[in-house]
A and B are shown apart, each in its own frame.
Chain A
């Protein structure tokens, strides 16, 4: 890892969020470098999704700061962070069920562009369609482009969600449990897709499935009860006894 070369894509300092008196996240420092693949692990309630929401701007931090692409965005609105180059998916499925796969992606590309205010079809139409088809191919939905999103299988919907996040060509992509509810085969194709992801895109992934998380990630941050427990490579995480007791042992037979 060339830790000294580039400015981090994401840096958080002392990031905390309290719900009432309960700390969902407490004093988390995080640094993710350009092109890195980072997994955020931790048992339920560890604060993983809260961390995502604070980074994306869906929640305001109680304490601490968030920097994206070298810029302090702590008080910046969600949409503006997205404009800077942040794409994310949510823990629960969110697609436009009444529209086709292609139209879903079309709107995601359109929404990221300036000048999308022109309501009638303009000159950029073909470029937007082309990008939408590229993304459909990238997330493995090339042959499902004309299917109505609401009729897709759960796995395909999750693929489409990743497509929606990828469509605006983000520099930083955050996926919240992309493998949740997927079949073994779907998990394999998801892993393959994430491994093939362009290195221009930095990836942060919350994942319960160890096979997916530890295959894709080069760097792992372990959260527990709202605090950062440890950081390391997948090998170090697999070998760590504390992690086993807390987490791996429970969900994976032998870990």
Chain B
């Protein structure tokens, strides 16, 4: 275990301080309904549902990186593309559910195309692949402005998920759709885990993450498996885009936003680790939401800094990420 004791101690202290701070702010006036408890519950749920969205998007990113060592800089563009495609389909009369499935598949196909047409020939050349995906991201961003405009738009959740539901706590109500995203993230995590743990495809993925050259020397057709993984990774970005386009908005700039959040999530969690992506997403989502509410008033605008403090602390203590492997 590569852990540095000094920074580790400091980061535990920081975490403890943050928890105590939030606890005092939230429940300092007691647990009654007149205190700040209700606000805390809503903020925490917002954090967890945002984390769920980050996880869905970043799980695809970490899958692609873990297997191929490709830092897919077009991942955010695929996220936004998924959202826009779903919006287009809905505008053409398709239901939200159908649009979600089709948009994810189309985004996956675009990802597969990028891999087969551009990346496959540059296997192992990390810098070149990063540059290629940046080019793809730039082209996609411009094309999306041409086709979908630059005014923010968003998807309407399907009728059955559009309401709010009582939480049975402080008489609070919460949007069903945000709870649905949390459920969707759990399903994505479960399915990915089952596929990686119990299928032949998943075994090859694990072997490839372990030692790509060795797996290939056993005679396994690694490029084919890579293509499949790229499809799944891109489809997950698209799925994230549909969810994000429903609770947030679809607009130029969202692509960079979600590329950045995916990067933070997998760097914190450890590149290539699914468990790491889950923990990283949870940390990022909670920190973003809680800091916006619980930082002292004069620092509220600096809440974005906390995200990077998280990054710095993790890199100082465990440079390979919380669940990452040393390479």
A residues apposed to B, CB below 8 Å: 78-79, 82-83, 94-99, 103, 106-108, 110-112, 116-122, 125, 164, 168
Contact = CB atoms under 8 A, between A and B. Distances in A.
A52 to B, nearest CB: 14
B199 interface: yes
A82 to B, nearest CB: 6
Given A94-B214, A96-B214, A116 B221 contact: yes
Given A108-B218, A111-B220, A120 B210 contact: no
Contacts of A122: 200
Given A108-B218, A119-B201, 11 more contacts: A78-B217, A79-B219, A98-B207, A98-B210, A107-B215, A110-B218, A111-B215, A112-B218, A119-B199, A119-B224, A121-B200
B200 A119 contact: yes
Nearest to B201: A119
Contacts of A125: 200
Nearest to B207: A96
Residue with the highest number of chain A CB atoms closer than 10 Å, among B209, B218, B219, B224: B218
B123 to A, nearest CB: 15
Q: Dominant SS at the B interface? A: helix
Contacts of A97: 210-211
Interface residues of B, number: 20
Given A120-B199, A120-B200, A96 B210 contact: yes
Nearest to A83: B219
A94 B209 CA distance: 14
B211 A96 contact: yes
B154 to A, nearest CB: 36
A123 to B, nearest CB: 12
21 contacts: A79-B219, A82-B219, A97-B211, A98-B206, A99-B206, A99-B207, A99-B210, A103-B203, A107-B207, A108-B218, A111-B220, A112-B218, A116-B221, A119-B200, A119-B201, A119-B204, A119-B228, A120-B199, A120-B200, A125-B200, A164-B218
A119 B225 contact: yes
A103 B218 CA distance: 12
Across the A-B interface, the 10 shortest Cβ-Cβ residue pairs: A111-B219, A111-B218, A119-B201, A98-B210, A111-B220, A96-B210, A108-B218, A96-B207, A112-B219, A107-B218
A214 to B, nearest CB: 30
Contacts of B219: 79, 82-83, 108, 110-112, 116, 168
